[in-house]
Amino acid sequence: MPLLKVKSLTKYYKEVLALSKVSFEVEKGEFISIIGPSGSGKTTLIRCINRLIDASEGSINYDGADLLKLKGKDLRGARAHIGMIFQHYNLVTRLTVLENVLHGRLGYKSSVAGILGIYTVEEKAKALEVLGLLGLEDYAYRRCDQLSGGQMQRVGIARALVQDPAMILCDEPISSLDPSSAKIIMDYLRKVQKELGITIIVNLHQVDVAKKYAERILGFNSGKLVFDNQPAALNAETIHEIYGTEAGELIID
């Protein structure tokens, strides 16, 4: 059974169609990149999968449960196993790196424990272990507003990892970073996928980065899935189908 099965997913923003009957499956441990022009539906798809927004029609089956039908405790339980990495980090910058990473455990906490910031010794040890995996062990007690953009994004990855997720969704995680920091983030995402077996789905604007890291690429145009194949299948014709007439400057080598 696939880890994720999206079927006929459709999303309207009032009268505007953002996703149109999108269907695809994801196997456990895959590294998938989603590409397409601005406004093509990439971010809407990611946010629908994680129920940050509600789809208008269709189904999202994750690990045997239809996410669109879950509510309350059941939904929180399912989402606890889906990590999320944001373009602008979504960190509480006045808190330490360790405190931000531990926020990844909030889905497993009671409301009172979450508000009071009560974490077990095991949870703190896990957070420190993950920070070590990402080369941030020396920054655990530093405030996040003292970090670079690349370091803050690594904190975001660590926060997702302490959830013990089967899948991590990444919404343009390198678009705010310089090329060197972007490479570091993508290398760590690949390390997480290869060494921990976690499924990675990442929105990217950079076609060359998608081709380098992904095992499979989903291409969107105007809310429709127009490409679903291995990176080697990207050529001038398929790039044009995804990006339209402005695709001439894209590197596809």
Domains of the chain: which residue ranges? 4-81+165-249, 88-147
Burial of 183 (0-12, 13-18, 19+ CB in 10 A): middle
As beta bridge partners, residue 5 has 25, 61
Residue 173, C-beta contacts closer than 8 angstroms, at least 6 positions apart: 85, 86, 87, 153, 156, 185, 189, 202
- The encoded tokens of residue 153 equal 């994004």
Q: What is the dihedral of CA 144, 187, 204, 137, to 10 degrees?
A: -10
pLDDT at position 105: 86
The residue-averaged pLDDT of 208-232 equals 95
pLDDT tens for each residue of 101-160: 999 888 777 776 766 778 889 999 999 999 999 999 999 999 999 999 999 999 999 999
The tally of CA atoms less than 13 A away on the side-chain side of residue 112 is 0
| pLDDT tens by residue, 186-207 | 999 999 999 999 999 999 988 9
Model pLDDT for residues 156-190, shown as the tens digit of each residue: 999 999 999 999 999 999 988 999 999 999 999 99
In terms of average pLDDT, the best of 63-67, 76-80, 98-102, 238-242 is 98-102
Q: What is the pLDDT of residue 114?
A: 67
Q: What is the mean pLDDT of residues 230-252?
A: 78
Structure tokens at 252: 């596809």
Whole-number pLDDT of residue 9: 97
Q: How far is CA 185 from the centre of its chain?
A: 12
Distance of alpha carbon 67 from alpha carbon 132, whole angstroms: 33
Q: What is the pLDDT of residue 250?
A: 56
Q: Tell me the whole-structure pTM to 2 decimals.
A: 0.91
In this prediction, residue 246 carries a pLDDT of: 58
CA distance 141 to 99: 8
pLDDT of residue 214 exceeding 90, the answer is yes
Let me know if domain 4-81+165-249 sits in CATH 3.40.50.300.
yes
Could you give the CA distance from residue 156 to residue 154 in angstroms, rounded to a whole number?
5
- If you average pLDDT over residues 92-100, what whole number do you get? 94
Q: pLDDT tier at 76 (50, 70, 90 boundaries)?
A: confident
pLDDT digits (tens, 9 = 90+) for 20-69: 999 999 999 999 999 999 899 999 999 999 999 999 999 999 988 899 99
Per-residue confidence at 249, pLDDT binned at 50, 70, 90? low
Q: What are phi and psi of 150, to 5 degrees?
A: -65, -40
